[in-house]
Structures are given as C-alpha cells and as structure tokens.
Amino acid sequence: MIFLNINNLNVSIEGKKILNDFNITINEGEVHAIMGPNGCGKSTLANVLAGNEDFEVNSGKIIFKDEDLLEINIEERAQKGLFLAFQYPVEIPGVNITPFLHAAINSKLKNENKSELDSLSFAKLLRKNAEELGINSDMLKRSINTGFSGGEKKRYEILQMSILNPELTIFDETDSGLDVDALRIVTEGINRFKNPKKSFLIITHYQKLLDYIHPDYVHVMRNGKIVKSGDISLASEIETSGYQNF
C-alpha cells in the first residue's frame, strides 16, 4: 500500500506560486519533520493535505492510502484518517467539545462501517484521554478553544487527535507560542500516541520540538520544495548555522 506519496505538486494562491514541484513519500509508522524559514510553503503544504479550498492545486498528485487525495473533500480526508493539528486553533463560541467530537468520531466510524459510539462510552473515552493529557474536567465544559491560552489550545488538539485516532497526523507549527513546560506536555502526549501503525508529519521552524519527538527523517524546505533530506543531525546543523546554507 502507498501510505502517502506527493508527486510533483504545484500549488498557488491568488496566482502566486507557493509549492513548486514538491515531492515526499511517507510510509506507515514513520515520523517526518519539515523545517524551513518563514514563507517557504510549510503551512501551505499542511493545508493542501487537509483539503483547504483557498489554495489552487495546479498540477501534481497526492496518494493517501492508495487513494487520490485530491479527489475528495476536507471531511472525507478527515474520515479517512488524516488529522491536522492547527497552528492557530479557531475559537467556536457556544460549542462544547463533547457533542463536537462525538459527532466527529461517529462520522469516522460510520465511514469505516463500524458501529457508532453511544454517548456514555464516548464520555468515558473522552474523560480517560483528557486525564492522561492533564486536561481537567472543567476545561471540557468550556466552548471549543474559547478563551484558551496557547498551551491549552494545543493540548486540546492533541486530545482530539487521541480520540479520532488518525493514521496520519500533521502538526502545523504546534510548538509556536508554547513555553518549555507546555511543549513538554504536548510532546509527551504525541509520544504516548506513537506506534508502528501511525505516521506523523511535523512542520516546525525550530529544532526544540524535535528534541522531544525524535523524527526518523528531517527535510529542509525552501522556495516551495525540499532542498535537503537527512536524519536528526540535519536539525542540529540548522540550529547552529541557520537556513542560508540550504
């Protein structure tokens, strides 16, 4: 099975080219990190994978679990097991996480022809996972992301990931705006979730996050394409000498 393969992908927004013959292959169970300076197209990549309709795919192919990803819409991609942990999770006033995530998990289960979760078993699952992430029950009662601190929002993203149980998780600069403690809590959550069936694409600007997560591969991105690939030592190289050498 081809897990994820992006082949010569060209993407633009309002006529401006952002991804330029972009290529990557990610296999089941692998952890990839993409690093790059601001404006290199990292976040665009994350959003194009998720199906954001603001971007225009000019040419190229994305295969996810043997299926042409560009043929299906945002929610179908999510139901197929793709999860995007947002850089800036949006506030949804008045909407509580319980009905929200309950509806989300059931739409996924339905898509997989599995039986849906009743309210009680879902509530149990949510409480258990929240506890593991150090999210107290008061926070579960609040509206989604509303009035949350940066760290709380990111923890909420990890909680949603742990419930929806995706095969591919994309972290879009999850470390931005986090202090060291929050970063540790978030990365612990990610590490607990890692297993040989799950793959991750971590998009980041700094090396710090990678110190906690240990990717299998590190890629450097500039001007809309990967310019160098290697292992974790590539991240240390960037940390010492910056992006100008790539």
Partner 1 sequence: MNKETSHTLNKYAQDKYKYGFVTQIESEKPKKGLDEEVIKFISQKKNEPEWMLNWRIDCYKKWLKMSDPQWANLQFPEINYQDIYYYSAPKGFEKKPKDLSEVDPKLIETYNKLGIPLEEQKILAGVAVDAVFDSVSVATTYKGELEKLGIVFCSISEAVQTHPELVKKYLGSVIPPGDHSFSALNSAVFTDGSFVYIPENVKCPMELSTYFRINAEETGQFERTLIIADKGSFVSYLEGCTAPQRDTNQLHAANVELIALENAEIKYSTVQNWFPGDENGKGGIYNFVTKRGLCKGKNSKISWTQVETGSAITWKYPSCILKGDNSIGEFYSVAITNNFQQADTGTKMTHIGKNTRSKIISKGISLGNSQNTYRGNVSFLRKADKARNYTQCDSLLVGNKCGAHTIPYIDSKNNSAVVEHEASTSKINEDQLYYCRQRGLSHEEAVSLIVNGFCKQVLQELPMEFAVEAQKLVSISLEGSVG
Q: What is the 3-state secondary structure (H, E, C) of 188-226?
A: HHHHHHCCCCCEEEEEECCCHHHHHHCCCEEEEEECCEE
Query: Residue 133 or 232: which CB sits closer to partner 1?
Result: 133
Supply the minimum distance, in Å, between the C-beta of residue 40 and partner 1. Answer: 22
Residue 119: CB minimum distance to partner 1, A = 13
Residues that bind partner 1 (CB under 8 A): 50-54, 73-75, 78-79, 83-84, 86, 89-90, 92-95, 99-101, 103-105, 107-108, 111, 143, 160, 164
Distance CA 189, CA 185 (A): 6
Shortest Å, Cβ 28 to partner 1:
21
- Residue 22, classed as helix, strand or coil, is strand
- For residue 95, the minimal CB distance to partner 1 (Å) is 4
Nearest Cα neighbor of 24 from 32, 16, 13 is 32
CB-wise, 166 or 210, nearer to partner 1? 166
**How far apart, in whole angstroms, are the C-alpha atoms of residue 153 and residue 150?**
5
Q: What are phi and psi of 78, to 5 degrees?
A: -65, -45
Q: What does the alpha-carbon distance between residue 48 and residue 63 come to, in Å, rounded to a whole number?
A: 13
| CB of 92 or CB of 227, closer to partner 1 | 92
Q: Which is nearer to partner 1, 105 or 186 (CB)?
A: 105
Residue 17 CB, nearest approach to partner 1 (Å): 20
Nearer to partner 1, 164 or 209 (CB): 164
